[in-house]
Structure 1
Amino acid sequence: MNRSSVIRRAVLAVAAVALVAGCKAEAVGAGGGGGGSVSPSTSSSAPAPSTSPTTDDKPSSSPTASPTPSPTQPAAKVLMKDGDESAQVRELQARLRQIGYFDRAPTGFYGTITGNAVKAFQKKRELPQTGSVDEITWQRLLAMTKKPTADELKPSTSNKLDTPDPRCMTGRVLCISKETRTLAWMIDGKVVSSMDVRFGSENTPTREGEFKVDSKRRDWVSTLYHTPMPYSMFFSRGQAVHYSADFAARGYNGASHGCVNVRDKAKLAAVFDQVNVGDKVVVHW
């Protein structure tokens, strides 16, 4: 073999090696999806990455492993609150009174005194101190008390006086509280006499506010309802403080037509003799 033949064969061998190396590089590059060159540290036998999402990348209809937040617990239903007036409120007050949280006769009206009693009960039981009665508070109270008797719901004894309204603290005043259902005859901030009272119904409410005694009638019969109204002290367009035989007989089972009924005739008669036309009358919650 001459020298030219040897050189020709060597050139052909080098070309063949270069061709094989070029195919491998192209194949790896194509498999990478980017068309670029292979990094020197990458093994030619490593599995080629895929552009299609794997099973883990696909959305799944099954719940994830992370815990699902629990829904917010709904607020307990409020059964009784400030401003309510009902038989259930009267029962609430009677039950609170059984265990020392309500120190007066039940009135059936939910005011600040009742709200404060409920708050004290809730605080003792480590319940939220809302002052309103929700289902949890009510059930706790029911478990601790007994069903009130008729006398507990509507006792014949006098109601405890409310804290006097600021308007009652000066002068001569018939100070009347709807919340405690009491009338206090006061002179210069001191209680001279007190008595139980009841008021008008929802359809014929007793008006609230500050008034003056317009006139007095020892013996009076209603011109509208033709019923006796002894010891009447009129203060607001026909509404008056007066003795009521019906109140004395039936208690809080009845209501007036807007007047302030008194059931203790002797007490009212004594106050009637002391009150002057022009004296102040305050009707408040």
Structure 2
Amino acid sequence: MLRTNVVRRTLGAAAVLAMTVGCTAQAVTDNSPAADAKPGSTGSPAAAGTASPAADTTQSPSPSAPATPTAEPSESGEPTESAPPPEVLMERGSTGERVRELQARLAQIGWFDDTPTGTYGPVTAASVKGFQGRRGLPTTGDTDTVTWQKLLAMTTKPTREELTGKAVNKPAEKLDARCKTGRVICISKTTRTLSWVIDGKVQSTMDVRFGSQYTPTREGTFSVGWKSKDHVSSIYDTPMPYAMFFSGGQAVHYSSDFAARGYNGASHGCVNVRDKGKIANLFNQVSTGDKVVIYW
């Protein structure tokens, strides 16, 4: 019994340490949206999939079920045809101005982080797949009519500057109700933006990225527990400048990796900011105890 208690205390201490000493960047995961790969890059792993095992066609169908699927009966008892799948408008290998528009529209809501090329590459497919997954659509990576209409409803017609990658005009962020009173670091996972809000008025906005599916950034309402301008992670021995800790070891901080690689990487749970000037200014304005809201 004594040995068991010692082990439990040891594990408990390790868990607390892991929560409080910080996080750093890691490679992008299958579920992390990313920009199209640069020339010579292999692209995002999200685009690569493995085939499912083939069905065993040697077995006979169960006597209780027909071998061939039939149309389901309607409420009147008459069989009805199932709805056809949506038409695919763009897919891997597609090229043209419509693909460029797709990329520019995805950039508006934070799902594409590179210059629109007009080529539907593997990471454009991964970006579409991420967009689909967050909205409950089949994650095919192909842009079908349903996906396209959903994207059109959430974005605006790209300008010439957006289509050439010279600007990204993100739609105005709809603040969560929790962000409309007091001093709040308001963070949207949908648009991947951080807004500094005072009494419902947005003071500044900046791009952010989050943890991977294995080390996700927590969601909810928190408060800034402490600040560390020149913080260095004791787990990964990497800099975390302008760190503002809000939940254990998770903090909002500047990331040189995010500045260099964009969404091709991810954090270990922290909220990364890539604009050093903006995060430095935010660090000077935020006080311990200010609210932090992270939401979809």
TM-score scaled by structure 2? Answer: 0.52
> 2:116 aligns to what?
none
* Pairs within 5 Å for 1:142-221: 157=168, 159-221=170-232
Using the TM superposition, give the Cα deviation of residue 96 of structure 1 relative to its aligned residue in structure 2, in angstroms.
Answer: 9.1
Between the aligned partners of 1:156 and 1:217, the Cα distance in structure 2 is: 32
Which of residues 232, 241, 249 in structure 2 aligns to 1:230?
241
CA contact (8 A) 1:216 1:231 kept: yes
Between the aligned partners of 2:192 and 2:147, the Cα distance in structure 1 is: 28
Using the TM superposition, give the Cα deviation of residue 225 of structure 1 relative to its aligned residue in structure 2, in angstroms.
Answer: 1.3
Which of residues 273, 278, 282 in structure 1 aligns to 2:289?
278
Using the TM superposition, give the Cα deviation of residue 136 of structure 1 relative to its aligned residue in structure 2, in angstroms.
Answer: 5.7
Between the aligned partners of 1:250 and 1:103, the Cα distance in structure 2 is: 15
3-state SS of 2:239 partner:
coil
CA contact (8 A) 2:253 2:272 kept: yes
CA contact (8 A) 1:201 1:257 kept: yes
Using the TM superposition, give the Cα deviation of residue 254 of structure 1 relative to its aligned residue in structure 2, in angstroms.
Answer: 0.5
Which residue identity lines up with residue 280 of structure 2 in the other structure? Answer: A
Is 1:251 aligned with 2:262?
A: yes
Return structure 1 stretches of 4+ with deviation > 6 angstroms. Answer: 99-103, 111-115, 132-135, 138-141, 151-156
CA contact (8 A) 1:76 1:135 kept: no
Using the TM superposition, give the Cα deviation of residue 72 of structure 1 relative to its aligned residue in structure 2, in angstroms.
Answer: 3.3
Which of residues 131, 140, 143 in structure 2 aligns to 1:110?
131
Structure of greater Rg? 1
**Runs (5+) with no aligned partner, structure 2:** 1-77, 93-97, 112-126, 150-161
What RMSD in Å do the two structures reach over aligned CA positions?
4.3
Between the aligned partners of 2:211 and 2:183, the Cα distance in structure 1 is: 24
Between the aligned partners of 2:295 and 2:82, the Cα distance in structure 1 is: 36
3-state SS of 1:195 partner:
strand
> 1:9 aligns to what?
none
CA contact (8 A) 1:106 1:153 kept: no
3-state SS of 2:108 partner:
coil
Using the TM superposition, give the Cα deviation of residue 241 of structure 1 relative to its aligned residue in structure 2, in angstroms.
Answer: 0.2
Which residue identity lines up with residue 282 of structure 2 in the other structure? Answer: V
CA offset digits 1:181-239 (Å, max 9, x no partner) = 00000000001111000000000000000000000000011111111100000000110
Residues 110, 233 of structure 1: alpha-carbon distance in 2 compared, 3 angstrom cutoff? same
Which residue identity lines up with residue 83 of structure 2 in the other structure? Answer: A
Which residue identity lines up with residue 183 of structure 2 in the other structure? Answer: R
Which of residues 137, 145, 162 in structure 1 aligns to 2:145?
137
Which residue identity lines up with residue 72 of structure 1 in the other structure? Answer: T
CA contact (8 A) 2:255 2:272 kept: yes
Between the aligned partners of 1:236 and 1:194, the Cα distance in structure 2 is: 21
Give the structure with the higher percent helix.
1
**Runs (5+) with no aligned partner, structure 1:** 1-69, 81-86, 89-93, 119-131, 142-150
> How many residue pairs align between the two structures?
183
> 1:72 aligns to what?
80
Between the aligned partners of 2:106 and 2:181, the Cα distance in structure 1 is: 29
Which residue identity lines up with residue 74 of structure 1 in the other structure? Answer: S
Higher relative contact order (CA 8 A, sep 6+): 2
Percent pairwise identity? 53
3-state SS of 1:246 partner:
helix
Which residue identity lines up with residue 236 of structure 1 in the other structure? Answer: S
> 1:269 aligns to what?
280
